[in-house]
Every structure is written in structure tokens, then in C-alpha cells.
Structure 1
Amino acid sequence: MHQPPDLFRGFLHCYYKDVYGTRPVARELQHGLVWYYCGLDKPPSRDTVDRFLTDLEHVIDDVFDSLVEQAAARGLLDSTYSIDSTHVEAIQYNDAASWNYDPTAEEYYYGFGCTIVSTGAKIPIAAEFTQAKQANKETAMRVTRDALAVDTPIWMLGDSAYDILDWHDLLLAAGVVPIAPYNPRNTDDPKDIKYRVEDRIKKHSEDIRLKQSILDETYNDRTGVERTNDAVKDCGLGHVRARGRVHARTEVFLALCLRIVVAITNYERGNGPGCEKL
């Protein structure tokens, strides 16, 4: 009988080795040294691997949250959070996926999306699986609340897609300074501001003013979340081989978990937690 922690280690090993999909994972775990060092009593069958992935869906959020707590306990998070969405390509046989447009790459792709909040050395601390790359307002608010439940940063950075009044007010009420470029959209009377927070902070306090030079300097750190996205893609986010939405979401969160495990392991070994290889 295989224990869940052992099979979870087996999946992390496979994802680290760029092995994805239940059949390739089961084949990789047939190797003697692999299943032995993952703590398995014997090589698991493909049915066992498939059942484990299905069962994992029910607890993967808790596993992810537990790993985030472990990273926080080691002081691997910092005072600047960044939020961004990235595309998740799926296999053509996944009927739950759809064709979406990626404005960054200026091309269409078949798959899903994932909204990630990251901090520190490319460490994801909150995330949500979405049908398309661009997250809606409800997802942005939910992921932001999840991130604030981890700890309260000083800054929260997002691109112009997060020029959302409720998002800004939520963060300001929590004592966090949100920085997202002002998007005038189709208004006939655009505000003379660069960041939405310049206007919103007046609604919250008459005494506080932020220098635009400080906002500019801090916003430059937003590239950290893009590096996090790339690091998580190397951990499997860019290789979702599952069919159906449930398995696809589980595989995405497995990749997020692996990124945190790599960061923690490197830290424990005295290496830089931002390193993407052990």
C-alpha cells in the first residue's frame, strides 16, 4: 500500500526531471533507485498514479498553503508582493481547455491561465487556476486576500490590469500600498496621474502623500513575479498533460509546490533560495 507522502515525493521527483503525465510518471517510478529513494515500497502502477492524482485534488490547496507557511517560517518572504497572470498550455485532448489570446505574446494558445502572487526569491505564495490567462476581478480579489492571509507586506505590485478600485481599496484598508499603472480606459476626462494609488490614497488620508519617484522605483521590482512565472513553468506549469480541468489544476499546483520545495531545499543547504536547480 503506497502512502500519499511517498507518492507526492515521487511526483515532485518526476516534475523536477521534466517527466509529466500519469503514464510517463508511472514509467519513471518503475526505476529501482527512484521508487526506493522516494520512500515507496514498490513501483506504483499507472492506475495507482492516476488515482493519487485524482485524490490529490482534494488536498492540493492545503499542501500548497503548508509549504508557503514553511517558506515564511524560514524568512524567505519579503515586504513586496507582486501579482500577475500567466498562460497554461494544455494538450489538445483536454476538452475542458479553450483557445485564449495572450496579449503579451500577441498570439493565441490552447489551455488555461493561472494568477500568481509571488515574493522573495521567486516564491509563489497565493495562486488560482483560471479558464483564461487574464483573471477577472473576483479572482484578483480572492488571490490578493489569500496573499494577505500569509502576511501583510508594505507594497503590492500589479500591471494595468489591476487598475481596479476595489483592489486598491482592499489593500489600502489593510495598510498595504498598491502600485498599478493608471489605465484611463475610455474616459473623456482622464486623471493626471501615473498610478491609481495617487488618487485613491487621497480618499483614505489627507496627510499621506507618495512621491512618484518612489512609486516608480518600487514598481520596477514587479519583474520579480515574471521571473517567478518562468521558474514555475520550469517546474511543470508549462507542461500540463492532464485531461479535464480537475487534473489540470492539480498539476498546476504541483508545479507551484515544487517551486517552493526547491527554494526551501536550497535555503536549507546554504544555497540561494532563488536558484531553480538543487
Structure 2
Amino acid sequence: MSSSKAVLPGNDTVAQVFKALETETTALLEPLDLSFLTDYPVFAPDSRGRTRVHEPPELLKGVLHCFYRDIYGLRPMERELRNEDVWRQCGFERPPSRRTLDRFITDFAVVAEEVFIELVHELAEQVPLGKLFQIDGTDIPVSQRDEDAQWNYDHTDDDFYYGYGCCVVTAANNIPIAAAFTSGKKVDQETAMRVTRDALAVETPRWMVGDSEFDMLNWHDYLLEQAVVPVAPYNPRNTDDPLDIEYRVEDRIKEHSETVRLWQRQLDETYSQRSRVETAIGVCKDLGLGSLRVRGRARVKSHVFLTLCLRVAVALANHHRGNDVASSTITL
């Protein structure tokens, strides 16, 4: 009969594995204050008087842990959270069922934006966001079996894709600070204004950069009223009598002020940093924004904002550990 030592790792090795898991999970979750989740009516106890076994803060921690480990399906998430070293660190008194996780993720869609914004405000109190914000839309492709989605044109790739979109404002260190879930990648003026207001409610930058899609008069005027310089290329296709300018802000400042002047070189140098938003979105896609295997508008929206919340949580974790806040991974 063979000795167990020949087929099983030693106790020291097992202890190291659990310690690594504990350290990584704790690093992700410890800096988060999720107590505000209990205030949302959507997470209120059952109206029939049943006690709530699992609290919303613990459930969100459990889902964020799973997302960080590239676990997205309900069955794999349920299996992962059966690990006692995981569910205890998430604050559970016992592992949540698949049905509980399903209900939580479905309900999360109702308050997804509010939860994300709350976490962003927590982050902004500790991490500098810089003076340059970027805004852009990104595609959220899904299976054609999703009846809620639609075909959209992506002008960047000059191709069509089936799915949804997300308008995101990002700041320093690849951090998303405001977002809106949309039907497609193209951003309309109403969405641009809403997301911009959310971003400025967190912190006021000096500059906000967007591509020619954001050549919107109301967007420019609103930012200038907030003492923020909008930098978006002028789109001559928006008029039959195009102006001789490179950026819309040149005309808006000329119209609104006789004293303020911007150098063309200054605008060019600022706009050259627009690619930062693509890098920031890429970091979010590394954390699950590009790994959607769910269907239905509500579930896709939940997935998108859970990913954005995870990005903020990772940034907080790295900040607390003195690591690179821009990274998509937590350095132990």
C-alpha cells in the first residue's frame, strides 16, 4: 500500500496554497465598505417575512471574488463559493446557493450605476484621479441568441457587431469613474451629458477629451460652464458651412470669452492622450468586460457594472498595498 506522502503535497505546501488564496482574496475585499448596499429597497428582506440568510455586502464580495478569478457562470460561482476558505473571507456564515446568486445578480441590475458610483467616490477619497478625463464608447458583443441585443455599427473597426454598448469616462491610472449601459457603441448627446455629469460629481478635471463623436454643442458648453476644457475634434459633416477650426472648443471659447485663448499646440498635445481611455477600457476587459456569456439586457448590464466595480476594487487594493494602481492584477 502506497504512502499518502507519495501522492499528496505536504502540509506546508497546502498551507501555502490556502495562505496565498486568503491573502489575495483579503487584499481585494478588505478595503471595500459595502455597508451602503443594505439601504437599497431592491435588496430588502422578503415581503412575506422570511429572514435574509445572505446579506448584499457579502454577496457582492463573493461575486467580485469570482469575477477576479475569471469565474462568471452561476454553477462555477456556486462551486467556488463552497470553498470554506473563500466563503468565510467573503463574510458568509454558510455558502450561498446558485439560486441566491442568481437573484442577487438580477437585482443588482436595478442599482448597478448607483453602486458603481458609490465605490468610485470611495476610491476618489484616497486615490488622485488627475486633471485629465477621457470619454468614449465601447462595444459589448454578446451571443446572437440574446433577443434583447441588436446589430450595431462600430465605426472604429468599420464593421458590425451584435450586442450592446457602454459609455465610459476614465481618469488617471486606467480608472473608470462614470459609465452608462447603452444599446450600442455610438453615444448620443443625452448619454454623454449624463455620464459627464456623473464624472464631474466625483471630481472636476481641467480637461476632458473625446473623439469627434463628442462634437456636441451642449456637451462643450456644459463643460466650459464648469471650468473644464473639452477637447474633441471638430466634425465638419455636422454642418453645410464648416468652420476653419480643428477643435470645437476653439469656436465655443471665441463665442463665450474675449480673454481666454488656447494654443493649437496645447490642444493637440492634450488630444494626443485620448488613447488612455482605450487602455483603461482594455484593463476593464481584462477583468471580465470582454468575457460575457450571459443573455438578456438586465444580466448583461449587471455583468458590465460588476466588472467596473471590480476594476475599482482592484485599484483600491493596489493602493492600500502600495502597488501600481493602474494594474489589473493585485500584487501580493
TM-score range, shorter chain: over 0.9
Instruction: Give the secondary-structure state (helix, strand or coil) at the position aligned to 2:237.
Output: coil
Measure the CA separation in 1 of the matches of 2:98 and 2:275: 40
Measure the CA separation in 2 of the matches of 1:9 and 1:17: 13
Identical positions, percent: 54
User: In the alignment, which residue of structure 2 is the partner of 1:122?
Assistant: 174
User: In the alignment, which residue of structure 1 is the partner of 2:108?
Assistant: 56
Alignment-mate amino acid for residue 144 of structure 2: Q
User: In the alignment, which residue of structure 1 is the partner of 2:245?
Assistant: 193
Matched, 1:29 2:81: yes
Question: Based on CA coordinates, which of the two structures has the bigger radius of gyration?
Answer: 2
User: 67, 77, 84: which one pairs with 1:15?
Assistant: 67
Structure 1 residue ranges without an equivalent (≥5)? none
Instruction: Give the secondary-structure state (helix, strand or coil) at the position aligned to 1:190.
Output: coil
Once the two structures are superposed, the pairs formed by residues 198-217 of structure 1 within 5 Å of their partners are: 198-217=250-269
Residue 43 of structure 1: how far off its partner (Å):
2.1
Instruction: Give the secondary-structure state (helix, strand or coil) at the position aligned to 2:178.
Output: strand
Q: Normalising by the residue count of structure 1, what TM-score does the alignment of the two structures yield?
A: 0.96
User: 299, 306, 325: which one pairs with 1:254?
Assistant: 306
Which segment is superposed worse, 110-119 or 2-11? 2-11
Measure the CA separation in 1 of the matches of 2:115 and 2:239: 44
Residues 114-170 of structure 1 deviation map (CA, whole Å, 9 limit, x = unaligned): 000010101111100000011111111111111111121110100000011111111
Alignment-mate amino acid for residue 153 of structure 1: P
Measure the CA separation in 2 of the matches of 1:276 and 1:220: 23
Change (3 A) 1:45 1:125: same
How many residue pairs align between the two structures?
278
Once the two structures are superposed, the pairs formed by residues 1-278 of structure 1 within 5 Å of their partners are: 1-185=53-237, 187-278=239-330
Residue 188 of structure 1: how far off its partner (Å):
4.0
Residue 39 of structure 1: how far off its partner (Å):
2.0
Measure the CA separation in 2 of the matches of 1:185 and 1:204: 23
Measure the CA separation in 2 of the matches of 1:169 and 1:246: 33
Instruction: Give the secondary-structure state (helix, strand or coil) at the position aligned to 1:181.
Output: coil
Residue 40 of structure 1: how far off its partner (Å):
1.9
Instruction: Give the secondary-structure state (helix, strand or coil) at the position aligned to 2:259.
Output: coil
Residue 104 of structure 1: how far off its partner (Å):
1.4
Alignment-mate amino acid for residue 151 of structure 2: W
Residue 242 of structure 1: how far off its partner (Å):
2.5
Residue 186 of structure 1: how far off its partner (Å):
5.8
User: In the alignment, which residue of structure 1 is the partner of 2:10?
Assistant: none
Residue 22 of structure 1: how far off its partner (Å):
2.2
**Which runs of at least 4 in structure 1 moved beyond 4 Å after TM superposition?**
none
Residue 93 of structure 1: how far off its partner (Å):
2.9
Which segment is superposed worse, 154-163 or 46-55? 46-55
Structure 2 residue ranges without an equivalent (≥5)? 1-52
Measure the CA separation in 1 of the matches of 2:189 and 2:232: 14
Measure the CA separation in 2 of the matches of 1:165 and 1:80: 20
- Asked if the contact 2:113/2:180 (under 8 Å) is kept, the reply is no
Instruction: Give the secondary-structure state (helix, strand or coil) at the position aligned to 1:192.
Output: coil
Measure the CA separation in 1 of the matches of 2:325 and 2:265: 30
- Asked if the contact 1:96/1:245 (under 8 Å) is kept, the reply is yes
Cα RMSD, aligned residues only: 1.4
Change (3 A) 1:186 1:246: closer
Measure the CA separation in 2 of the matches of 1:65 and 1:187: 36
Alignment-mate amino acid for residue 182 of structure 1: Y
Which segment is superposed worse, 64-73 or 176-185? 64-73
Measure the CA separation in 2 of the matches of 1:242 and 1:74: 34
Measure the CA separation in 1 of the matches of 2:299 and 2:257: 46
Alignment-mate amino acid for residue 226 of structure 1: E
Residues 57-81 of structure 1 deviation map (CA, whole Å, 9 limit, x = unaligned): 2332222112111111113311111
